[in-house]
Each structure stands twice: as structure tokens, then as C-alpha cells.
Amino acid sequence: MYDILFFLFLLIVGYVFGTIIEKRHFSSLTKREEEMLYLPMIAIKKPLRDEDITRSELVNGSVVISIDFFKKFVAGLVNFFGGNITVYESLVDRARREAILRMKESAKDASEIINIKIETSSISKNTKGIGAIEVLAYGTAIYR
């Protein structure tokens, strides 16, 4: 009986604190994205304008975000029965947006960032340990 109560306690705590942390992170992402709107980034290899380029450099941003207990439990249920694991979508979205923002913040004085690439990998996906996702965003910062 205590095992079931402890499990339910962990599930509720995971849901409550996971939701609070996720909402705070989304709010922070939105605010920081608005602050970085002035810096365009494109996936093509050539700058928007070729004139007056003083220098260019590789910039990157990476992040590792872990999943909370509630989402891990729900994902396990969906995985058992089959279907789209929507609880992971917000995790992937947060990680991608955070990595792009960190990349942009590392090149605040740049005119633009070109040749953007995003790499995603799962950490400990085949173990019973903590599930996490790593996202790396990188590109070439152009300075004028």
C-alpha cells in the first residue's frame, strides 16, 4: 500500500513541479526570443549581403533538458499502447528553442547567422535511468 502511495506522490509532485518549471522556461524563452529578434538567422550558406564583411566565426549553443517523472510515466503508457508521444513534444520544443537562443546570444554583435544546423540526440534512451535530450545549434556568424 505504501508503495502505491509513494508512487502516486511522486507522480503528483512530478506533474506539479514539472508544469511550473516548464511554464517558467517557456516564459523565459518567449522573452529572450523577443530580445533577439534583431539577429536574423538563415539556413543558406551565403550571407544576405556580401559587402563589408569584416569577419565570420563559428557560433553554437547547446542544451541538455531532462524529462520529469510524470512525463516519463505518461510516455511509458503511450509507448506500451502505441501512439504519438505528445508529452515529449514540449521537451523537444524547449530544447530546440533554448539551443538556438544560446547560439544567438553567443553572437550578439553579429549582423546575421548563416548556415544554421540543429543536431538532436537522446541521452540514456535505452536505459531505465534519467531520460534527457541534447540539442546543439550551430552556424556561421557574419560581422559587418
DSSP 68: P
Range of 16-20, 39-43, 47-51, 135-139 with top mean pLDDT: 135-139
- Between helices 69-81 and 87-105, what is the axis angle to 10°? 130
The burial of 22, by beta-carbon neighbours within 10 Å (0-12 exposed, 13-18 middle, 19 or more buried), is given as middle
CA angle 88, 137, 96 (to 5 degrees): 25
Kindly report the pTM of this predicted structure: 0.84
Spatial neighbors of 100 by CB under 8 A, at least 6 apart, are 41, 61, 116, 118, 137
Is residue 23 predicted with pLDDT exceeding 80? yes
Residue 125 — pLDDT band, cuts 50, 70, 90?
Answer: low
The per-residue pLDDT for range 64-86, each reduced to its tens digit, is: 988 877 777 777 788 778 778 77
133 and 71 in contact (C-beta within 8 Å)? no
Q: Domains in the chain, start-ordered, CATH in brackets?
A: 2-143 (3.30.110.70)
Residue 135 — pLDDT band, cuts 50, 70, 90?
Answer: very high
Average of pLDDT values for 122-140?
79
Is residue 129 predicted with pLDDT exceeding 70? no
High-pLDDT (> 70) share of the chain, % = 95
How far apart, in whole angstroms, are the C-alpha atoms of residue 87 and residue 72?
Answer: 8
Q: Which three cell numbers stand for residue 143?
A: 560581422
